Amino acid sequence: MTSIPEALLWCLSAGTAAAVVLTATVVRARMQSADLRQRLTTSEGQNTASLQTNNELNARLRAVEAEIQHLAGARLPDLSMALAHPHVPVRGLLDTRFAGTGTDRALSAVLEQTGAAVTKERERVDAAAQSTLRGATTTIQALLYQLQTALQDMQHRYDDPAVAQDLLTADFLNEQALRRIQATGVVCGAWPGLTREDSYLAELVVGASSRLRGYERVQVSNQLRDPVAVVARAVEPIAITVTELLANALHHSHHGLPVAVTLQQGNRGASVIIDDYGVGMHADELQRAKELLSGDDQLLFTQLGDPPRSGFAAAGRLVRQYGFGVHVEPSPYGGVRAVVYIPGDPLLTVLDESSQPMSVMAPLPHRSGTPDHPHHSGTPDHPHTPLPSRAAQRSAASPEASVGSPAGSSGPVAQLPTPLQDGAELPRRHRRKPGGDVAPGTPRTEPAPARTPEENASRWSALQQGTESGRAATQPSPGPDPSRTPEPPRSPEGNALS
């Protein structure tokens, strides 16, 4: 009986131990299962993150490749075009997410380095081209001047009207070639090629118009109060500038319309105002013309078009070198108004008309209602010294003196060095007079009315015929003396070498 409880106790103990062992095993299995599930979840997250990272890297790589292709296919061609035409924009990044990043900075550095290299190479090539053209134009210009001198000598040597007409035609064609060669040389940095004496502004404008086809359409109105002249060193540069502005006005207006030129005198200088009735300029063309005429930008010869349009560029280079100014704006007549401003100090002077008469081809000043000998009391409104009447001087001068001064008529020149102030008169240059001055009691003569181009041509022809007749009458033999070369008179164009 006593063994049964002990056996039950032992069975209960064994069952309890087995239950504990089983419970521990179940707990351990559950823990291992949870850990396995956690590790599986972490591995799946890592795989997902890795996959997402790989996708992002691939997308960025494709975006960078697209930016490089955009740089090569669009931005670099835009840059090369913008270097030649500044108004052309250069496109930016294809993807704005790269803005400010290292990729953006690297691509911008490529653009800057490429632009600098292209600009340097263009400047080198342009400098070489300008050097070649400068040498060629200088040589051709010298040959054309020699041809011009030979044609002028033949005009004085032969009396046949048909031969004279052919020589005048050849001389005019030579003048057209000379003008274009001269402008091209100036754009390339060459010297204008002429040394001139002090010349009246009215003569200079008439001479500039005579270099052009359609010169008969140019109508010059002289509103100068004094016999204003341009100093020698600036005569040819200003003549070139006025010629190119007149050429632009004649070219862009109908052949039946005139081109009005007005000479005005101010307190600080004189102006040549050119108005045409042509088609005018658009806003961008006007802005481009102002940039060329200002002379501020260092232009490349390759930027002047094909074929190069060198007129305004030559004027701009001369403006920068000699200190006068050119301004263009829309004309009140619908075309273009160009103003050449010549400062009185140091580019203008006033000549003595009794010793150096103005050419008969130059327009007379319009002084309606104003006496030829104004009596001044030194007020600021009338600061000018009274001058002899131009009409009286021309009536007292010989025909040869009206065209040009004799070789020995010019003496030492005395120039007043006083700088030009507000309201002050222009500096005057006085020459020694070979003869007596006009008598103080000489009656005043009213200025003659403005002459038409036909009247000027008729008077000039009569003057030449009279001069040739006088020379023929004084010749001892019927043929010309081969040992004596006739000296051509001073041309109002001033194109002969001095």
Residue 329 to residue 320: CA distance in whole angstroms: 20
Spatial contact of 177 and 144, defined as CB atoms under 8 Å apart: yes
Q: What is the 8-class DSSP label of residue 154?
A: H
Residues 126-136 pLDDT 10s: 999 899 999 99
Strand intervals (E) in 67-190: none
Give the confidence band of 372 by pLDDT, cuts at 50, 70, 90: very low
Residue 112 to residue 94: CA distance in whole angstroms: 18
Structure tokens at 430: 């006085």
Mean pLDDT over 129-156 rounds to 93
Mean pLDDT over 318-328 rounds to 95
Residues 212-271 pLDDT 10s: 999 999 999 999 999 999 999 999 999 999 999 999 999 999 999 999 999 999 999 999
Buried b / exposed e across 144-160, counting CB within 10 Å, b at 16+?
bbeebeebbeebbeeee
Residue 48 to residue 119: CA distance in whole angstroms: 52
Give Cα 380 to chain centroid, integer Å. 37
pLDDT at 223: 95
More confident site: 135 or 483? 135
pLDDT at 206: 95
Give the confidence band of 290 by pLDDT, cuts at 50, 70, 90: very high
Neighbour-count burial of 181, counting CB atoms closer than 10 A to its CB (0-12 exposed, 13-18 middle, 19+ buried): buried
Which residue carries 């103005």 as its tokens? Answer: 358
Residue 290 to residue 282: CA distance in whole angstroms: 12
Give Cα 232 to chain centroid, integer Å. 23
CA neighbours within 13 Å on the CB side: how many for 460?
Answer: 16
Task: Note if the pTM is more than 0.75.
Answer: no
Mean pLDDT over 304-310 rounds to 84
More confident site: 117 or 374? 117
Give the CATH class of 198-369+385-400+415-432.
alpha beta
Residue 176 to residue 182: CA distance in whole angstroms: 10
What values do phi and psi take at 379, rounded to 5?
-80, 160
Least confident of 190-204, 245-259, 312-326, 461-475: 461-475
Give the confidence band of 194 by pLDDT, cuts at 50, 70, 90: confident
End-to-end CA distance of the chain: 163
**Mean of per-residue pLDDT scores for the chain:** 77
In the chain, domain spans: 3-99, 198-369+385-400+415-432
Largest CA distance in the chain: 191
Give the confidence band of 69 by pLDDT, cuts at 50, 70, 90: very high
Cis peptide before 346 (omega within 30 of 0): yes
pLDDT at 349: 93
Q: In the sheet that 199-200 helps form, which strands lie side by side, from edge to edge?
A: 199-200, 228-230, 348-351, 428-430, 414-415
Residue 26 to residue 103: CA distance in whole angstroms: 59
Residue 225 to residue 348: CA distance in whole angstroms: 14
